Chains A and B, each alone.
Chain A
């Protein structure tokens, strides 16, 4: 394989990895802080994509505005999910709350399809053209996605250092200690939901110019995000970050070599990894049976 092809596949993997990083981080955040398994994560991603496309094509606004609109819309919707639903179901337990997010996700997906149309929507490339270096040609669009993902992850990193971010981490470590320190759990929770879902909205908006938005993109990306979470180690944000790029790049190569069966190959690899390292790449090694 020549270097040019290798770089193309590799950069494609980075792009996919960047998207996974956003979605998996959001998911891990919500799971860690509120202990909610947010099934609607993928649907927020899809919504972000559709919203970005609508903003640019229907409203004629510039792309950066579209990204911000998508971010705000999904963040607000995420907070709504908390206030309208999750805050009432947490007392019914982890499992029931998870189901409710499934239901909510279905509503979001269906509503999006009805409003935006179920045919695949495309956004013309925002930064048209390509970049060439060292014999490799990359569409600019993909670089934008990578750059965008990196920017957002850096912003998230700094956000986690703010007071509210620290409260979120505290709440995920130990809920009782957190409330003792005067942190208002409800506030932490809805902000966590907003951030977690907003991350997906941004991911969707970033991806819209490069990949076609479709009705099923939400569920597909969700499963892959779960793979990333498994590989990185449940509950570890840095693990999710590392795993996102590992899985993204692996997937890119797998699809190149195996076509459609590439996904199956990834599944098998993940299964083997979990067998030998149940804690994932960076997660705590899980204890011997005894939960």
Chain B
């Protein structure tokens, strides 16, 4: 028999069915056990969105989700640009050799690029000073730190500025890219990125920079064009951090934050009647490796469900769930189940 994970469609169909059946059958037991309503899978609205910023706690699969979303959008015919900040795994996940400051075309509707904040700053200083020698001397690796410090948020601002330039890029009077997916730094570092226009705005009130700041702040806050997605796994610490970050970004920064993306959601292998049978077995049977594995899988699924409930309770919205993959994705093909999950949540037709 062909393995399940080699048949992404089947996995997806099972996931969807499980979600429906589960929502119905577990509703009562969950309400009784945990005091909450299990989340109905959320929809991801990408209607007019042109910029999607993906962030989350380190290690939850943020880059994987960004890559899968870029593939899903490009498969649906949107001309998509995937962008990462600093070195990462985006290139291998999308099947590109290397990424650089200039977007490279991977497929007819999919391009990718990498922004190095240091390079962005060098470009900026050269542009301002119009004096190559001077800017070269100013820009050693240590002086980057000093310049970046002289205006806190400058490096982050330059990253956003680059993204903005790509959003505005046009060919034959039509935008070069329909959608930009930005794989932003992990949560601890994405807050500076997303609050840069505001932080800097307090320092610069006049001049071209102040104008740029207003433009970028406008770009980030525009709910009709921008969406911030927080990726998490259904684990306690990751969920708590996601709730915190959601409060900061949606509350304090007033950014358009979408429903949380719960990655690596363990599948439901055993139904309530299975669990009943397993629980009823004698103590000696419990050492059987099959039963140890089964107990682990049941327990993990239960924990994941309860974390989903926490998330829903705190954020008041359901989550987009992506399945746990037994073989971790490392190339475009293995990304397919996640791309399909995102496509169906976003209503993207291939």
Query: Is chain B a partner of chain A in the same complex?
Result: no
